[in-house]
Amino acid sequence: MARAMVANYFSSNPDTKLIGQRLVEVTDKQLLKIKNKELKTEVENLLKQAKQNLSK
């Protein structure tokens, strides 16, 4: 979850979007390992926000 939060933060700043993009990619791959459904949903929501920030 922390990685998703950091990805969301970096994706919102134009100067650090590249870092945010890479963190989104890595965190996306690790979603498969999350067993807790509530935690997985939270991480997915944070990643969705980060992806929206990256597309701006």
Coil/strand/helix, residue 34: coil
* Predicted TM-score (pTM) of this structure: 0.89
Q: Would the pLDDT of 56 be above 90?
A: no
Nearest by Cα to 47 from 34, 31, 32: 31
CA triple 24-26-32, angle to 5 deg: 105
49 Cβ contact partners less than 8 Å away, ≥ 6 residues apart: 8, 11
Nearest by Cα to 46 from 13, 16, 23: 23
pLDDT digits (tens, 9 = 90+) for 17-29: 999 999 999 999 9
pLDDT digits (tens, 9 = 90+) for 3-17: 999 999 999 999 999
